[in-house]
Amino acid sequence: MSKLEDIVSLCKRRGFIFPGSDVYGGFAGTWDFGPLGVTLKKKIMDEWWKFFVEDREDMYGIDAAILMNPKTWEASGHTATFADPLVECKECKSRFRADKIADGINESVTTEEFLATHTKCPVCGKENWGPIRKFNMMFLTHVGAVLPDDDKEIAEKNIAYLRPETAQGIFTNYKNVVDTFYPDLPFGLVQQGKAFRNEISPRDFILRDRECSQMEIEYFVNPSAWEESFESMRSLQHEFLEDVVKLPKEKIHELEVPAEDRAHYSKRTIDFMFDYPNGEEELMGLAYRTDFDLSNIARESGKSMDYRDKKTNEVFIPHVIEPSIGVERLFLAVLSTAYTEDEINGEKRVVLKLPENLAPYRFCVSPLLKNKPELVEKAKEVYDTLRKKYGNVTWDDSGNIGKRYRKQDEIGTPKCIVIDFETLENDTVTIRDRDTTEQIRKNVSEL
């Protein structure tokens, strides 16, 4: 199994992911996607959108504002309950998420339960803890012209939060979509976008960030049919993860989340766990959110969230099945699956065996020799043709051909095309396969 440090190093070396604000020494819990990272990330997001929205008739996309009326977070329960157990070491003042440094406890741990675990401070090694305090993870900001020396009342009146989940931008648009599109049940509203969480301990590279991207579906169903839709969403997730982004089936494990560990809104949750290089972690969640959100919105806004079934005239508030996945977690699952170290003719290499539909570049085109204008000219012609046809094609004439192959292997380019003297005679090129390193000759017109 690949090591996380090797993947982090490759990501920086080859321009996939850099630490956020790197030039200033970084900024904990933030990461910047470089030219290759943003391409891979976009391809993952586009595949997801195609699979769950474009290829279906029952899904509608939306793109809601990140800043939302703070009533949203009152109604959703986030203001009151979106909190982690914070514990401080009285010796060195380091702060931790209690359930992440002690075994056998969960997010609702009490001070007494935590102290009974006799956990030592991971920083100073002492055992001298303050009480567990609830730390709300929403990032707080102020909207409009609020100054630091304004009185508390003005500041409080203008409080807003960066959204901690994209889901609420969907729920608050449910009525707009029902009133404009009149969709039949079941139907889904779908969104991709940024979410922000002030994690106490961001960790494991891009697995636990303070700023992440989510892809969420709120699938509205007749309450009497929730189980059926839950099962169909469950198998669709497997289909996407295994057949579209090609994660190995044996690395995905379902975890039925017990009632005491479920989010406040969920009556049933299955976490899809993945075998990452550092161990098993949550990749995504599938939750039955009932009518929790729509009923709360109806109460707080005074607007009806009722749905009238066109066939039966039955009126009810739909229930919701929610598959929710973090883009960064899926990105790392894809990358760690692809990361391979092997040996070719006695020489070690790193190769990213990315599926063809996700690889940042589909082809790399090179002239065999950079100092032969006739080869360069022909290679440019092939490059332009392929770029027009496929878009994601790269050019490389640096170093020798062996070095070019090593570089393209590391960034996951499935095929390298080399233009040599034979090309000038019969229009055939060498095509080298990334995974097998085998080379074949083909006519340019067959590419």
Residue 242 interacts with ligand GAP (CB under 6 A): yes or no: no
Query: Taking the complex as a whole, how short is the minimal distance between the CB of residue 19 and ligand GAP, in angstroms?
Result: 15
Based on CB atoms, which residue is closest to ligand GAP, 105 or 284? 284
Number of Cβ atoms within 10 Å of the Cβ of 180: 10
Q: Which stretch binds ligand GAP (CB under 6 A): 208-216, 331-339, 392-400, 407-415?
A: 208-216
Alpha carbon distance 353, 414 (integer Å): 8
Residue 324 interacts with ligand GAP (CB under 6 A): yes or no: yes
Please say whether the beta carbons of 195 and 163 come within 8 A.
yes
Report the relative pairing of strands 252-256 and 211-221 from DSSP bridges: unpaired
Residue 212 interacts with ligand GAP (CB under 6 A): yes or no: yes
Q: Residue 174's closest CA among 289, 80, 13, 15? A: 289
Residue 328 interacts with ligand GAP (CB under 6 A): yes or no: yes
Residue 113 interacts with ligand GAP (CB under 6 A): yes or no: no
> Among all residues, whose Cβ is closest to ligand GAP?
326
Contact with ligand GAP (CB under 6 A) among 10, 17, 167, 185: 167
Question: If phi over 0 gives left and psi between -120 and 50 gives alpha, with beta otherwise, what is residue 185?
Answer: beta
Based on CB atoms, which residue is closest to ligand GAP, 99 or 216? 216
Contact with ligand GAP (CB under 6 A) among 19, 193, 277, 285: 285
Alpha carbon distance 8, 299 (integer Å): 47
Q: How many residues belong to the chain?
A: 447
Q: Which stretch binds ligand GAP (CB under 6 A): 125-133, 204-212, 229-237, 349-357?
A: 204-212
Those residues with Cβ within 8 angstroms of residue 179's Cβ, 6 or more apart along the chain or in another chain: none
Those residues with Cβ within 8 angstroms of residue 161's Cβ, 6 or more apart along the chain or in another chain: 68, 70, 73, 78, 138, 139, 140, 141
Query: Taking the complex as a whole, how short is the minimal distance between the CB of residue 334 and ligand GAP, in angstroms?
Result: 13
The separation between the first and the last C-alpha atoms of the chain, rounded to the nearest angstrom, is: 35
Residue 165 interacts with ligand GAP (CB under 6 A): yes or no: yes
Packing angle, helices 4-13 and 327-338, rounded to 10: 100
Contact with ligand GAP (CB under 6 A) among 14, 197, 432, 434: 197
Contact with ligand GAP (CB under 6 A) among 6, 204, 282, 397: 282
Contact with ligand GAP (CB under 6 A) among 185, 270, 286, 325: 325
Percent helix, percent strand, percent coil in the chain, to nearest 5: 35, 30, 35
Query: Taking the complex as a whole, how short is the minimal distance between the CB of residue 129 and ligand GAP, in angstroms?
Result: 24
Site for ligand GAP, rule CB under 6 A: 165, 167, 197, 199, 208-209, 212, 214, 216, 282-285, 324-326, 328-329
